[in-house]
Amino acid sequence: MTWQYSPSRREFLGSAAAFSLFPLEIEKPDLILHNANIFTVDARQPRAQAVAMANGRFLAVGSNSEVLNLAAPGIRKIDLAGKTVLPGFIDAHCHPGSSGVDMVVTVNCDLPSIAAIQAALRERAARTAAGEWVLGSKYDDTKGTEGRMLTRADLDAAVPDHPVAVMHRGGHTTFYNSTAFRMAKVDEKTPDPPGGKFDRDPATGKFTGRVADEARALVETFGAGLTTRENRREGIKLISKAMAKAGITSVGDAGGSPEDLRAYQDARESGDLSFRVYCLIVYPHLDKMLAAGLRTGLGGDFVRLGACKLFADGSISERTARLSKPYEGSPDYFGLLMMSEDDQYEHARKAHLAGWQIGTHANGDVAIDRTLRIYERLQKESPRNDPRFRLEHCTLVNDSLVTRIKALGAIPTPFSSYVYYHGEKMRFYGTERLTHMFAMRSFLDAGIPATQASDYTASPFEPMMALQSQVTRTDTQGNIWGANQRITLEEAIRVGTINGAHASYEEQIKGSIAAGKLADLVVLGRDPFKEDPSSLVTIPVERTMLNGRWSYQS
């Protein structure tokens, strides 16, 4: 058994001279889980049968008899009947703040066909005031039964009079109707802005409706009206509940703003926050944060200020990542870079000098090379101890990039479920390139603590899907992509727990089931170690515990 006084007791004793309460009360467990099959992710004690907890922390981890010995009369005990317990999952890069607001204000376009999307948008338009936006989210151009992309004409046919914006689940492209372009006074004569693109029909030159990245700011005139403080708080309530149901106890919000930070604090205070959040702040807000004297790490165990988020290139699911070799079947197309290297360096330098962790969105090998070059330069010019530079996504690598990542101590946050969920998009990258994408085997072999990440809404957040995808490298149709990058189930669980904690400087307080750590765990319906790897995704999450309380029970 491992046993230690919880930090709360030590802190308490430290202040005992000033406050004379009942210190002995504090080390008594308030809950014991026993008769469980616990995979702890703690090297000192990999397996256990029981845990005791108090005040939101694990107090003791060990065998049934060892831990039950601590039970005093009246202490709650739960017999888990042999069920498997893992540490709570950490989704190191996802977008709960914005996807929560989506759940409140947008039409969910994760639907099986364009016709179904049209019907849903039409229905929303019918109860939306004239001139107000109709917004859609989670559209995926490769999933519909029609086998083609949504067009401006589809949207005009469904909703002629309201402006419409349907965002791709990847977050980097949006589809607009003609009313939206007209209201924004944007037409075919409008040039593509830097870092953005209006798609045009190759035959006629007319807008198709699909707009990428920075060009969207020229069309969108909504925002503040829909993202009210109340909508944000309500959104976090909904999304954190949904994620708790899947077994997630901590997230990194990779698209945060000061408004998101406030919303997380609002949700925490109203009892509606069902996960812990490390809130990255996108770089346009950095000056505001610096002026307020804030930097990475400030906050508490529930809401903590994360890294400064920068962007180097486009997305994998929407095929805008910047690659050194062209996309399959498009000999002249290499993807998009989001800003110049000089600008990226200047933003990164400002954050680095102010003591912020930096997380740079870099998917393609070109973008990763550039981002590493900037990180290397920063450490040479202004070395900092343990900066834990993050490479958000870090999708397409090669041996020399992996060597440089290791040398810097940088942290990739690869898409954990893409092979499984986005199999139909893999053909744009090709079999050979897939052997170097989402390169978990390469990272772990090099000793690089890569994390689990869904980038939700870009892919589903269910951790069981991430485990299956990384262990099998097989998509839903049975195609195998990059079998050389398979990792073991045990490795995938570590990636989804302790490595996520490390990416936010929190490996001392969470990410494994060990005495003294935060009491976050998940109870599964079946043992993943006895499961066929191709059905891991079907293992039900029965309960999720956050801070010693159930955040979800089936």
The single residue listed with the structure tokens 């709360």 is 8
Q: 202 phi and psi, to 5 degrees?
A: -60, -30
Binding to Zn ion in span 24-83, by CB under 5 A? none
405-434 positions binding Zn ion, by CB under 5 A: none
Residue range at the interface with Zn ion (CB under 5 A); choices 97-105, 187-195, 364-372, 452-460:
452-460
Question: Which CB atom, from 254 or from 351, has the smaller least distance to Zn ion?
Answer: 254
Helix %, strand %, coil % of the chain (to 5): 35, 25, 45
Instruction: In angstroms, give the least distance from the CB of 171 to Zn ion.
Output: 6
With respect to Zn ion, which residue has the nearer C-beta, 363 or 474? 363
Helices 365-381 and 341-353: crossing angle in degrees, nearest 10, is 40
In the chain, DSSP finds a helix count (H) and a strand count (E) of: 19, 24
Span near Zn ion by CB under 5 A; candidates 22-30, 53-61, 247-255, 416-424: 247-255
CB of 137 to Zn ion, least distance (A): 14
- What SS3 string covers 123-189? HHHHCCCCCCCEEEEEECCCCCCCCCCCCHHHHHHHCCCCCEEEEECCCCEEEECHHHHHHCCCCCC
Pick between residue 455 and residue 520 the one whose CB is nearest to Zn ion: 455
Report how many residues bind Zn ion under the rule CB under 5 A.
2
Shortest distance (Å) from residue 248 CB to Zn ion: 16
Does residue 254 bind Zn ion (CB under 5 A)?
A: yes
Residue 392 Cβ, how far from Zn ion at the closest point, in Å?
A: 6
Closer residue to Zn ion (CB): 27 or 455: 455
What letter would DSSP give residue 88?
P
Nearer to Zn ion, 254 or 495 (CB): 254
- Closest to Zn ion by CB, 54 vs 280, is 280
Distance CA 67, CA 58 (A): 11
Q: Specify the stretch interacting with Zn ion by CB under 5 A; choose among 69-77, 185-193, 308-316, 449-457.
A: 449-457
Name the β-bridge partners of 160.
Answer: none
Q: Which helix (H) or strand (E) holds 498?
A: helix 498-503
Element (H, E) at 305: strand 303-311
Nearer to Zn ion, 455 or 462 (CB): 455
Residue type for 512, please? S
394 binds Zn ion (CB under 5 A): no
Give the chain's length. Answer: 554
Q: If we measure between CA atoms, which residue out of 97, 91, 89, 95 comes closest to residue 236?
A: 97
Contact 67, 52 (CB under 8 A): yes
Stretch that binds Zn ion, among 201-209, 378-386, 453-461, 542-550 (CB under 5 A): 453-461
Judged by CB under 5 A, the chain residues 155 through 214 that form the site for Zn ion are none
Q: What is the nearest approach in angstroms of Zn ion to the Cβ of residue 280?
A: 9
Q: Which is nearer to Zn ion, 154 or 462 (CB)?
A: 462
Query: Which lies closer to Zn ion via its Cβ, residue 282 or residue 354?
Result: 282
Q: What does the DSSP assignment read for 349-397?
A: HHHHHTT--EEEEE-SHHHHHHHHHHHHHHHHHS--SS---EEEE--B-
CB 413 → Zn ion: shortest distance, Å? 9
**Near Zn ion by CB under 5 A: residue from 260, 455, 506, 520:** 455
- In whole angstroms, the minimum distance from the beta carbon of 493 to Zn ion comes to 23
CA-CA distance, 277 to 260, in Å (whole number)?
Answer: 11
Helix/strand/coil (H, E, C) string of 189-243? Answer: CCCCCCCEEEEECCCCCCEEEEEEEHHHHHCCCCCCCCCCHHHHHHHHHHHHHHH
Nearest-approach distance from CB 428 to Zn ion, in angstroms? 19
- Minimal distance, residue 455 CB to Zn ion, in Å: 4
Give Cβ neighbours of residue 1 (< 8 Å, ≥ 6 apart). 60, 61, 62, 63, 66, 67
Nearer to Zn ion, 32 or 450 (CB): 450
**CA distances, 427 to each of 29, 409, 419 (Å):** 54, 32, 11
Q: Is residue 281 near Zn ion by the rule CB under 5 A?
A: no
Segment near Zn ion (CB under 5 A); pick from 113-121, 229-237, 348-356, 448-456: 448-456
Cβ 453 to Zn ion, closest distance in Å?
8
Query: Where do contacts with Zn ion occur on this chain (CB under 5 A)?
Result: 254, 455
